[in-house]
């Protein structure tokens, strides 16, 4: 399928399933090499990362823990501004290598929030994996250690990513036709 329609919007194929598969295997190889001697816990940021994480981690062959967290849709207002709460971290992260698994980093606001809340739990080190990065939109200095694709600043759906809840089950990634 070269184009899909969700509500009134048209999306055109941007990354084929095979290209995604190759990138996922490449990242898994890097993780296998880099983390084999570490006490690793993967923190998968739901919902969008569910397919990426499943494909990535079935190719990760070292001992590890895997847990799933979610950003609450509720935004609290604090002195620092708007923060979203990270829910579902019940694990002890102290002295562990924590690997955040994200589907997409756009401005980086979400990632920044996640990083700050994880750092409060004193991990030994923090690594970040994202399938997609929009470099033109990214506003933070945090190093992103593993990147599947750098993509233009356009809205994308598929392979876990949604538009209004739809499109997550598509095996390719599609970009909005403006
Ligand atoms: P920020 O700006 O916080 O955005 O880095 C990250 C979150 O925003 C959503 N997002 C997208 N979702 N297609 C999507 O389906 C996109 O192109 C897109 N850009 C940002 C996503 O929830 C991500 O975690
Ligand atoms: Mg996300």
Question: What does pTM read for this prediction?
Answer: 0.94
Tell how strand 125-133 and strand 97-105 pair up.
parallel
User: Is residue 9 assigned to a domain?
Assistant: no
Q: pLDDT at position 85, please? A: 84
Q: Is the CB of 100 under 6 A from ligand 1?
A: no
**SS3 call for 116:** helix
User: What is the percent of the chain where pLDDT is above 90?
Assistant: 87
- Per the CB < 8 A criterion, the answer to whether 129 and 146 are in contact is yes
Q: How many whole angstroms separate alpha carbon 40 and alpha carbon 151?
A: 28
Q: How many domains are there within the chain?
A: 1
Higher pLDDT, 87 or 96: 96
Question: If you average pLDDT over every residue of the chain, what do you get?
Answer: 93
Spatial distance between the Cα atoms of 110 and 175, rounded to a whole number of angstroms: 21
Contact in structure between 117 and 146 (CB atoms under 8 Å): no
Q: Indicate whether 76 pLDDT > 60.
A: no
Query: Region 104-118: what's the mean pLDDT?
Result: 94
Pocket test for ligand 1, best of 142, 161, 173 (most atoms within 8 A of CB): 161
64 vs 109: CA distance, rounded Å: 27
Task: Tell me the residue range of the domain where 28 lies.
Answer: 17-153
Provide CB contacts within 8 A for 147, sequence distance 6+. Answer: 129, 130, 132, 133
In the chain, DSSP finds a helix count (H) and a strand count (E) of 3, 10
Look up residue 171 and give its two tokens: 């095996």
- Residue 176 belongs to a domain: no
pLDDT tens per residue across span 161-176: 999 999 999 999 999 9
174 belongs to a structural domain? no
Q: Kindly report, residue by residue over 15-56, the tens digit of the pLDDT.
A: 999 999 999 999 999 999 999 999 999 999 999 999 999 999
Rounded to the nearest angstrom, the distance between the alpha carbon of 46 and the centre of ligand 2 is 6
pLDDT above 90: residue 5: yes
User: What does the pLDDT average to over 89-113?
Assistant: 94
Confidence of residue 78 (pLDDT cuts 50, 70, 90): low
Residue 56 lies in a domain: yes
- Whether 124 is covered by a domain: the verdict is yes
CATH number at residue 88: 3.40.50.2020
| Cβ of 151 below 6 Å from ligand 1 | no
Q: What distance in Å separates the CA atoms of residue 38 and residue 124, rounded to the nearest whole number?
A: 10
Q: How confident is the model at residue 72 (pLDDT cuts 50, 70, 90)?
A: confident
Task: Tell whether 161 is covered by a domain.
Answer: no
């Amino acid at each position: 399928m070269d184009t899909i329609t969700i509500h009134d919007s048209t999306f055109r194929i941007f990354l084929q399933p095979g290209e995604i598969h190759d990138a996922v295997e490449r990242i898994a190889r890097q993780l296998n090499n880099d983390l084999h001697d570490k006490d690793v816990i993967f923190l998968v940021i739901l919902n969008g990362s569910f397919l990426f994480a499943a494909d990535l981690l079935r190719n990760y062959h070292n001992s590890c823990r895997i847990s799933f967290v979610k950003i609450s849709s509720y935004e609290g207002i604090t002195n620092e501004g708007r923060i979203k709460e990270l829910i579902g971290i019940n694990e002890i992260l102290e002295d562990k290598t924590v690997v955040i698994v994200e589907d997409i980093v756009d401005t980086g606001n979400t990632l920044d929030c996640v990083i700050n809340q994880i750092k409060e739990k004193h991990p030994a080190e923090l690594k970040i994996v994202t399938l997609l990065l929009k470099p033109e939109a990214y506003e933070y200095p945090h190093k992103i250690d593993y990147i599947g694709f750098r993509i233009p600043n356009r809205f994308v759906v598929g392979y876990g990513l949604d538009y209004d809840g739809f499109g997550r089950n598509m095996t390719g990634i599609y970009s909005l036709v403006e």
